Amino acid sequence: METLNFKLYCRHCRKIVNVYECHREEKVLPEIKPEFDLITVCCIVCKNPIMKMTKLHKKLGEDKQ
Protein backbone atom coordinates (compact mmCIF):
# COMPACT_ATOMS: atom_id res chain seq x y z
CA MET A 1 0.00 0.00 0.00
CA GLU A 2 1.42 3.36 1.05
CA THR A 3 5.10 3.68 2.08
CA LEU A 4 5.37 5.84 5.19
CA ASN A 5 8.04 8.50 5.70
CA PHE A 6 9.46 7.10 8.94
CA LYS A 7 11.44 4.08 10.13
CA LEU A 8 10.79 1.62 12.95
CA TYR A 9 12.69 -1.23 14.58
CA CYS A 10 11.69 -4.67 13.24
CA ARG A 11 12.17 -7.44 15.80
CA HIS A 12 12.19 -10.08 13.09
CA CYS A 13 14.92 -8.40 10.97
CA ARG A 14 16.64 -7.00 14.09
CA LYS A 15 17.30 -3.63 12.51
CA ILE A 16 15.68 -0.28 11.76
CA VAL A 17 13.72 -0.50 8.52
CA ASN A 18 11.39 1.50 6.31
CA VAL A 19 7.74 0.68 6.87
CA TYR A 20 4.54 0.73 4.87
CA GLU A 21 0.82 0.73 5.61
CA CYS A 22 -0.19 -2.89 5.00
CA HIS A 23 -3.78 -2.82 6.29
CA ARG A 24 -6.38 -0.17 7.13
CA GLU A 25 -9.69 -0.63 8.94
CA GLU A 26 -11.81 2.44 8.35
CA LYS A 27 -13.83 4.15 11.10
CA VAL A 28 -13.28 1.43 13.72
CA LEU A 29 -14.06 3.65 16.71
CA PRO A 30 -17.57 4.97 15.92
CA GLU A 31 -18.27 5.99 19.53
CA ILE A 32 -15.40 8.50 19.38
CA LYS A 33 -15.83 11.66 17.33
CA PRO A 34 -14.02 12.49 15.09
CA GLU A 35 -13.73 9.08 13.43
CA PHE A 36 -10.41 7.19 13.36
CA ASP A 37 -8.94 4.45 11.16
CA LEU A 38 -6.87 1.58 12.58
CA ILE A 39 -3.67 1.15 10.54
CA THR A 40 -1.30 -1.81 10.65
CA VAL A 41 2.31 -0.86 9.84
CA CYS A 42 4.55 -3.58 8.34
CA CYS A 43 8.27 -4.01 7.64
CA ILE A 44 9.17 -3.39 4.00
CA VAL A 45 11.86 -6.13 4.12
CA CYS A 46 10.15 -9.12 5.78
CA LYS A 47 6.49 -7.97 5.44
CA ASN A 48 5.75 -8.78 9.12
CA PRO A 49 3.47 -6.43 11.12
CA ILE A 50 5.35 -4.11 13.46
CA MET A 51 2.61 -2.09 15.16
CA LYS A 52 -0.96 -0.83 14.96
CA MET A 53 -1.85 2.84 15.24
CA THR A 54 -4.86 5.08 14.82
CA LYS A 55 -5.10 7.88 12.30
CA LEU A 56 -7.78 10.52 11.84
CA HIS A 57 -10.23 9.45 9.12
CA LYS A 58 -10.33 11.76 6.12
CA LYS A 59 -13.05 11.52 3.51
CA LEU A 60 -12.18 11.49 -0.19
CA GLY A 61 -12.27 14.93 -1.73
CA GLU A 62 -11.86 16.69 1.62
CA ASP A 63 -9.45 19.62 1.30
CA LYS A 64 -7.53 21.53 3.95
CA GLN A 65 -9.02 24.97 4.39
Residue 5 has pLDDT above 60, yes or no: yes
Range of the domain at 29: 2-56
Question: Does residue 63 lie within any of the structural domains?
Answer: no
3-state SS, residue 44: coil
Q: What share of the chain is helix, strand, coil (3-state, %, to 5)?
A: 0, 55, 45
Domain assignment present for 10: yes
Q: Which tens digit of pLDDT belongs to each residue from 36-64?
A: 888 999 999 999 999 999 888 776 555 55
Q: Is residue 41 part of a domain?
A: yes
Asked, for residue 42, whether it belongs to a domain, the answer is yes
Domain total in the chain: 1
Q: Is residue 65 part of a domain?
A: no
d(CA 39, CA 57): 11
Q: What pTM value is reported for the model?
A: 0.73
